[in-house]
């Protein structure tokens, strides 16, 4: 472990407040201990930020923004390109730290860093494509066009389950758009954030550019609450639960700020009578147990045509019996621990509720004796309209639900409050297109013959309904980090007014 920390420039106790490459050394707020969910051992500490340090961050970020927005966008893109190459150099070490501190298996930890690299590449290209449209005016000798300008300060609040990638999705696009980023990571994974800050600082050490990435660590919710309410933070991007996201959205809206919310997902896969089960079983297993069921895109509900139900059920139970649970840094491990004991307790409570409602637990749901936060992944036969099924349980619990007609399956898929990711497995074209049509899936992501957990960098990531409606990462997500301005230019010698109105003075 020490070798890993040394590789990333981490020490036994690390500064948690960063103003670009400069750290603050105030120790009065105490230390946030980072512990591994694998064995509950302390990894290292991160100094918590004080209110005074937070104030200094915002003040200096405002000053930096005044300069950063003047840097040409392609030059800003070059800075992000350098970050991408630094991440390539540190991919193995940072991926291992993600596994150590958060608990996802090594392949997923490396994959998360790869997502950071990919979005850096995307952002570099996007820095030369911050396009506005030219529009025709009804007035003669007039030209209209739109421009996109930086917002200012972008606040990024990230969750424990994706301790580095979600920051990158936001920060790289916000940066090439001319904004300055302030990051508040989850107190469950503070080391990952410090490691990323150090990698960014290393990449930009000789760039002679203003600082555009700031970091503070909050051990409770005091500074986070101040952050959300701060009118100087032009956009708050929040990733987390629907319950907290609802509060964040309301409070930012109350001060007329902008928010980008990426919240929960009670995601479903429909398996119809024409589905290829050779595709279904591995997609569902990865979707349900990857990251120990702690992804917003985790497969939570499997809606199966009655004619295929027994085959799917038996295939999944057999596959779950082969899942190797253990140290996430072991290459043979397929599922690591959940984040803490509270996560285990939530899954156990959900299982008891399912049993009380008359559901059947096919397998899993047991704690594994020993250190760490390990449990076996569970499968339950349930009904879609049960309250517990309508609620997202953030852990490795999958519900199997029968259906008879495709319309019924789509109605079930849509009949939850969240609307993030969805999928159908079918070899029938009409069913695939019906699922993707306006009256089909109501989610922000809808897939055919691929599971709910895949997120492509080229597509803007996010969902509808209680998922928050925000969009991060690809496509035209860059517009969320900018303000639109419409311009009209009169290049004639007359002054025709709008709506055909004119008058003489």
Going from the C-alpha of 368 to that of each of 271, 289, 345, 348, 376, the distances in angstroms are 31, 16, 13, 13, 7
Could you tell me which residues come within 8 angstroms of residue 228 by beta carbon, excluding any fewer than 6 positions away?
Answer: 155, 157, 236, 238, 248, 251, 252
Say which residue the tokens 């047991």 belong to. Answer: 366
Could you tell me which residues come within 8 angstroms of residue 320 by beta carbon, excluding any fewer than 6 positions away?
Answer: 285, 289, 363, 364, 376, 377, 379
Q: Indicate the helix (H) or strand (E) that contains 443.
A: none
H/E/C letters for each residue in 197-241?
A: HHHHHHHCCCCCCCCCEEECCCCCCHHHHHHHHCCCCCEEEEECC
177 is catalytic: no
Could you tell me which residues come within 8 angstroms of residue 192 by beta carbon, excluding any fewer than 6 positions away?
Answer: 94, 97, 98, 101, 102, 163, 164, 185
* Beta strand 13-14 pairing with 17-19: unpaired
293 Rama class: left (phi>0) / alpha (psi -120 to 50) / beta = left
138 is catalytic: no
| Termini Cα distance of the chain | 80
108, 112, 115, 262: which one is catalytic? 262
Asked whether 284 and 293 are in contact (CB, 8 A), the reply is no
**Number of neighbouring beta carbons within 10 Å of residue 386:** 17
Q: What does residue 486 show for φ and ψ, rounded to 5 degrees? A: -100, 130
Asked whether 485 and 150 are in contact (CB, 8 A), the reply is no
Degrees to nearest 5, angle at CA 240 with 179 and 27 = 70
Name which of 279, 274, 271, 322 is nearest 454 in CA terms: 279
456 Rama class: left (phi>0) / alpha (psi -120 to 50) / beta = beta
Question: What is the distance between the alpha carbons of residues 217 and 28, in angstroms, rounded to a whole number?
Answer: 13
53, 296, 392, 472: which one is catalytic? 296
Asked whether 174 and 23 are in contact (CB, 8 A), the reply is no
Q: Which residues are catalytic?
A: 262, 296
């Amino acid at each position: 472990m020490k070798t890993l920390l040394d590789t990333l420039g981490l020490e036994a106790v690390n500064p948690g407040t960063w103003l670009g490459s400069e750290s603050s050394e105030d120790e009065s707020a105490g230390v946030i201990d980072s512990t591994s969910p694998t064995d509950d051992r302390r990894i290292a500490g991160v100094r918590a930020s004080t209110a005074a340090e937070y104030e200094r961050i915002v003040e200096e970020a405002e000053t930096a923004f005044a300069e950063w927005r003047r840097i040409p966008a392609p030059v800003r893109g070059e800075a992000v390109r350098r970050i991408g190459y630094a991440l390539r150099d540190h991919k193995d070490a940072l991926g291992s730290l993600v596994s150590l501190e958060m608990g996802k298996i090594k392949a997923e930890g490396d994959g998360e860093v790869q997502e950071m690299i990919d979005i850096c590449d995307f952002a570099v290209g996007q820095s030369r494509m911050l396009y506005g449209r030219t529009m025709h005016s009804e007035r003669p000798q007039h030209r209209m066009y739109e421009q996109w300008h930086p917002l200012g300060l972008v606040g990024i609040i990230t969750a424990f389950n994706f301790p580095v990638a979600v920051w990158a999705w936001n920060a790289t696009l916000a940066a090439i758009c001319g904004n300055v980023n302030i990051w508040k990571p989850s107190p469950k994974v503070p080391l990952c954030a410090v490691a990323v800050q150090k990698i960014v600082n290393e990449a930009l050490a000789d760039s002679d550019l203003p600082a555009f990435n700031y970091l503070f660590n909050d051990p409770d919710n005091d500074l986070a609450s101040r952050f959300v309410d701060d009118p100087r933070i032009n956009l708050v991007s929040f990733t987390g639960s629907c319950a907290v996201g609802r509060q964040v959205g309301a409070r930012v809206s109350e001060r007329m700020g902008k928010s980008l919310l990426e919240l929960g997902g009670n995601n479903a896969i429909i398996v119809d009578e024409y589905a290829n089960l050779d595709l279904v079983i591995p997609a569902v297993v990865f979707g349900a147990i990857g990251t120990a069921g702690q992804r917003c895109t985790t497969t939570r509900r499997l809606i199966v045509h009655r004619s295929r139900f027994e085959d799917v059920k038996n295939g999944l139970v057999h596959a779950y019996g082969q899942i190797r649970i253990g140290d996430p840094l072991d290459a043979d491990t397929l599922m690591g621990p959940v984040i803490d004991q509270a996560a285990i307790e939530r899954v156990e409570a959900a299982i008891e509720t399912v049993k009380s409602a008359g559901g059947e637990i096919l397998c899993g749901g047991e704690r594994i004796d020993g250190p760490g936060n390990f449990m076996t992944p569970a499968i339950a036969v349930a009904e879609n309209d049960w309250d517990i099924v309508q609620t997202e349980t953030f852990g490795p619990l999958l519900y199997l639900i029968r259906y008879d007609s495709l319309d019924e399956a789509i109605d079930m898929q849509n009949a939850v409050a969240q609307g993030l990711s969805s999928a159908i497995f079918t070899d029938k074209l009409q069913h695939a297109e019906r699922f993707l049509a306006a009256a089909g899936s109501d989610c922000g992501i809808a897939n055919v013959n691929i599971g709910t957990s895949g997120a492509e960098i080229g597509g803007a990531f996010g969902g509808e309904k209680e998922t928050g409606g925000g969009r991060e990462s690809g496509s035209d997500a860059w517009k969320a980090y900018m303000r639109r301005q419409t311009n009209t230019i009169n290049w004639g010698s007359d002054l025709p007014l709008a709506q055909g109105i004119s008058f003489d003075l």
